[in-house]
Chain A
Amino acid sequence: NAGVTQTPKFRVLKTGQSMTLLCAQDMNHEYMYWYRQDPGMGLRLIHYSVGEGTTAKGEVPDGYNVSRLKKQNFLLGLESAAPSQTSVYFCASTSLAGGYNEQFFGPGTRLTVL
């Protein structure tokens, strides 16, 4: 049981390049989330999904797109990377089966945009 995994762990992009971050979970969770974490800013929600084929915007969605084609995967795309998108990106998942939404986090992706 791997939990939540993220690919890649590190990436350096040039301004204007595109990339996709992959999140996978093997816990059969319905809900998945993408956050970014910047010094002094805490965790901020980018986009989330409440089920396969559905996505919704979070607090800071601009410049990002997401897709949830399979229940276990949640992809985060940057179409034209900007230096302001330099950050650590965390994926998380949860199930409301227990009555509350404890989120399980992946190890993070450290992205630098030059």
Chain B
Amino acid sequence: GQNIDQPTEMTATEGAIVQINCTYQTSGFNGLFWYQQHAGEAPTFLSYNVLDGLEEKGRFSSFLSRSKGYSYLLLKELQMKDSASYLCAVSPVSGYSTLTFGKGTMLLVSP
């Protein structure tokens, strides 16, 4: 089975840095995705990690530790538009085509 945990809500201040954690326990693992979802909109792809380490993409970075079943999404220089839900999703063994999503972390950025 699959079990993915992320905090329900987080708050941060504009210009700050925030780290959103995701832990997973899965029967198979190929990689981990992060998606962003603004209220009333569809999820959009942010990052994908398959190897251990940090992947940086502009203000957003994502980290993976396969041995610990742990990932985090790091958002720097927070902007008001970063207020959204952040979804962690696990891809099982290579060759399969489904994703299992966590329940999402709602991030509220205040001025």
User: Which A residues fall within an 8 A CB radius of B?
Assistant: 31, 33, 40-45, 48, 50, 58, 90, 94, 96, 100-108
6 contacts between A and B (CB under 8 A): A33-B98, A40-B103, A43-B87, A45-B100, A48-B97, A100-B30
With A42-B101, A48-B97, A58-B98 given, is the CB distance from A101 to B91 under 8 Å?
A: yes
- Residues in A neighbouring B91, C-beta threshold 8 A: 100-101
Q: Which of chain B's residues has its CB closest to A96's CB?
A: B97
- B77-111: contact bitstring with A at CB < 8 Å (1 yes, 0 no)? 00000000001010100000111111110000000
- State whether B97 touches A42 (Cβ < 8 A): no
Which residue of B42, B48, B102 is within 8 Å of A90 (Cβ)? B42
Assembled-state Cα–Cα distance A106/B41 (Å): 9
Smallest beta-carbon distance B52→chain A, Å:
16
B15 smallest CB distance to A (angstroms): 29
Q: Are B42 and A108 in contact (CB-based, < 8 A)?
A: yes
B7 CB within 8 Å of chain A:
no
Q: Cβ of A44: which chain B residues have Cβ within 8 Å of it?
A: 101
- Which residue of A has the minimal Cβ distance to B102? A42
Which bucket holds chain B's interface residue count?
20 to 34
| Contact B45–A43 (Cβ < 8 Å) | no
B87 touches A42 (CB 8 A): yes
Chain A residue with Cβ nearest B44: A105
Report the separation of the CA atoms of residues A48 and B99 in the bound assembly, to the nearest whole angstrom.
11
The CB with the most chain B CB atoms within 10 A, among A33, A43, A50, A107, is that of A43
Shortest Cβ distance from A40 into chain B, in angstroms?
7
Task: Output the nearest chain A residue to B104 by Cβ-Cβ distance.
Answer: A42
**Which B residues lie within 8 Å of A41 (CB)?**
103
Residues of A within 8 A of B30 (CB): 100
Q: Which of B32-64 contact A (CB under 8 A)?
A: 33, 41-45, 48, 50
Specify which chain A residues have a CB less than 8 angstroms from the CB of B87 in the assembled complex: 42-43
Residue with the highest number of chain A CB atoms closer than 10 Å, among B42, B99, B101: B42
In the complex the two chains form, is A107's CB within 8 Å of B41's CB?
A: yes
How distant is the Cα of A49 from the Cα of B71 in the complex, in angstroms?
Answer: 29
- A100 vs B101: C-alpha distance when bound (angstroms): 16
